[in-house]
Structure 1
Amino acid sequence: MVDVGYTLSSEEHGPTELVEYARRAEAAGFDFVSISDHFHPWVTAQGESPFVWSTLGGVATATDRIEIGVGVTCPTIRIHPVNVAQAVATIDVMCGDRFTFGVGTGENLNEHVVGERWPEHEVRLELLEEAMDVMRSLWTGENTSHRGEHYTVENAKLFTAPEDQPTTIVSAFGPQTAEWAADHGDGLWCSGPRDAVVDAYEGAGGEGPRYTQLHGCYAESEDEAVETVTEIWPNGSLPGELGQELPSPRHFEQVASMVEPEAVAESATLTDPDPEPWIESFETAVDAGYDHVYFHQIGPDQAAFFEFFEDELAGELA
């Protein structure tokens, strides 16, 4: 059984629109929504970055059935894990058993805003491990004190606490972090049908749910879709670790100025209005081992994508 999801893109849409899109996704028959957690958009053309936990309160009350996930939060630098633990606990209580908490080591784009040094990846994993320990202690509802290498917690207690530990799924883009996710998380979160990541996760004993995101833009023509992606989501075509290391939308725009429409058309981003490539991409992700696959419709025209999903995709992906 594979769950089909829809992206609530906080970088592109305001909070009220995101709540409405969540309601629409539920009506369209999606199994889950995943909302991104950013302080900045990647590039200015995206135009938004509402506070995810406020938006999630609206999503929780506007929907009844659909599963709700955060894909993903960095609970280490920009926000102290005590505050993230409280936010997660509140949303978990509001959602009941519908909530899934995704975590990752973050991007400099969002975390540098508080003036802290942006550390190397191994240190970020240490921060994440300690932050997860702090949050899990607080989610018990018991009085918590902690004096660790990176965080101090003094006499803290969540009076609005979840009944059970929230499902916490770890983001990984490479095999090494996937193995870490198997040891420290309840599942795996990724982007694209990366089979090596799933193999590493399962090889290290990981048995939890496996999420991945597929990026695309449905439009009347492929040329229109490519134009939209080139303007709104050029960051999707940037190589390597740039997405984790660049500090501001301005820097992403400077690098993205080198992204040509031809590169977008040749990338894994879905731009064909024919449903077959979308179905094939979904099936590739399933074959790679993912059991939660969700679509990101790039650009302002979400209504067209919902119609495309209902008319062309839903029956084929069931």
Structure 2
Amino acid sequence: MSDIRFGYTLMTEQAGPKDLVRYAVAAEERGFDFEVSSDHYFPWLAAQGHSPYAWSVLGAVAHATERVGLMTYVTCPTMRYHPAVVAQKAATLQLLADGRFTLGVGSGENLNEHVVGRGWPTVQTRQAMLAEAIDIIRQLHTGELVEHQGEYYDVPSARIWDLPDEGVDLAVAVGGEEAISTLAPLADHMIATEPSADLIQTWNGTKGAPQVGRKARAVGQIPISWDPDEKAAVARAHDQFRWFAGGWAVNADLPTTAGFAGATQFVRPEDVAEQIPCGPDLDAIVEAVRPYWEAGFTDIALVQIGGETQDRFLEECAEPLLERLRSAAG
């Protein structure tokens, strides 16, 4: 039997907080292995229409679910949140989740981080900030009093008083060898958005991971637009997810939903359909997901596009799709 885990994405950009909790419960009931949550201040496009506070949602989800793993995908612990605050809320969420939570972190997007008025650093600076932030989080998760004076952060005196016995696993988003060499030694697990075997091999070949002897997970994510009507699926994916065509170099730097709308104004529906499986064909979805497990990903989260489609997706599609995915990956 395959040890590949399939997850459901709580896409905060396309649903309100109460609906997200309801979807989380239904996804657990339908058999998903884990659930990841985005952590945004803005949606990518105004058509998505939502962006509640992810940590409040996850606290409610932790209480409402029993089995599924939970994960931020991803939180930026460098600007909008100070790393000392991220350490505290991650520890609290792990306690609420009875050990099911993984803290997923990344270097962030201008879209969300600009709201605190600190500007937007270069990618090299963002990665250096992330490395220092992870170090602070790790120190605080020991339960000891931490006094830190670094290049980007000062922590004059801090201690986390409520800590889970099992700690909090930390996963970090990476996109290349330079990021891996800097961040892999600091993290337990890898997050990536491209089904690249080279990334995973480079990660696993990097020495110095903090939890020796534990197999690192590689966590990926793929958007789908399931719908009995293929034309409706394509139209919805184009309306709400055409930002996906920009690639990370663009997506990390644009500051507003209007910017994403302008940058993607010439992306056609057929362009989106080439990148995202759209329509009722479950086998086509399986084939779109296949490159992830073939590349070595251990955890693959699905994003069903469209907040208004979640109930029907979970009721009609989730179980047969999971059965086909597990059969194909087995």
Which interval holds the TM-score relative to the shorter structure?
Answer: over 0.9
Q: One-letter code of the match for 1:3?
A: R
1:292 to 293, 299, 303: 299
Give 3-state SS (helix, strand or coil) of 2:226's partner. Answer: coil
Task: Tell me the equivalent position of 2:179.
Answer: 177
Residues in 2 aligned to 1:182 and 1:83: alpha-carbon distance in whole angstroms: 22
2:111 to 109, 112, 116: 109
2:102 to 69, 84, 100: 100
1:279 to 269, 286, 292: 286
- Give 1:310 deviation, angstroms: 3.8
Task: Tell me the equivalent position of 1:305.
Answer: 313
2:265 to 240, 248, 257: 257
Conserved? CA contact 2:59–2:96, under 8 Å: yes
User: Is the counterpart of residue 224 in structure 1 residue 226 in structure 2?
Assistant: no
Residues in 2 aligned to 1:157 and 1:212: alpha-carbon distance in whole angstroms: 33
Task: Tell me the equivalent position of 2:152.
Answer: 150
User: Is the counterpart of residue 248 in structure 1 residue 250 in structure 2?
Assistant: no
1:89 to 88, 91, 99: 91
Relative to structure 2, which stretch is displaced further, 15-24 or 135-144?
135-144
Aligned residues: 317
Give 3-state SS (helix, strand or coil) of 1:44's partner. Answer: coil
Residues in 2 aligned to 1:66 and 1:241: alpha-carbon distance in whole angstroms: 32
Residues 112-151 of structure 1 mapped to structure 2, 5 A cutoff: 112-151=114-153
Conserved? CA contact 1:69–1:101, under 8 Å: yes
1:164 to 163, 166, 177: 166
Residues in 2 aligned to 1:301 and 1:164: alpha-carbon distance in whole angstroms: 37
Task: Tell me the equivalent position of 2:9.
Answer: 7
Change (3 A) 1:146 1:311: closer
**C-alpha RMSD of matched pairs (Å):** 1.5
Give 3-state SS (helix, strand or coil) of 2:70's partner. Answer: strand
In the TM superposition, what whole-angstrom CA distance separates every residue of 1:251-308 from its partner, at most 9, and x where no partner exists?
A: 11111211111211222x1113111111122222101000001100001201222134
Residues in 2 aligned to 1:121 and 1:189: alpha-carbon distance in whole angstroms: 17
Give 3-state SS (helix, strand or coil) of 2:13's partner. Answer: coil
Relative to structure 2, which stretch is displaced further, 64-73 or 280-289?
280-289
In the TM superposition, what whole-angstrom CA distance separates every residue of 1:195-226 from its partner, at most 9, and x where no partner exists?
A: 23223222324751000001111011221111
Q: Return 5+ residue gaps in structure 2 as ranges.
A: 210-214
Residues 191-202 of structure 1 mapped to structure 2, 5 A cutoff: 191-202=193-204
Residues in 1 aligned to 2:218 and 2:318: alpha-carbon distance in whole angstroms: 24
Change (3 A) 1:240 1:190: closer
Identity %: 37
Residues in 1 aligned to 2:287 and 2:136: alpha-carbon distance in whole angstroms: 41
Q: TM-score, normalised by structure 2?
A: 0.92
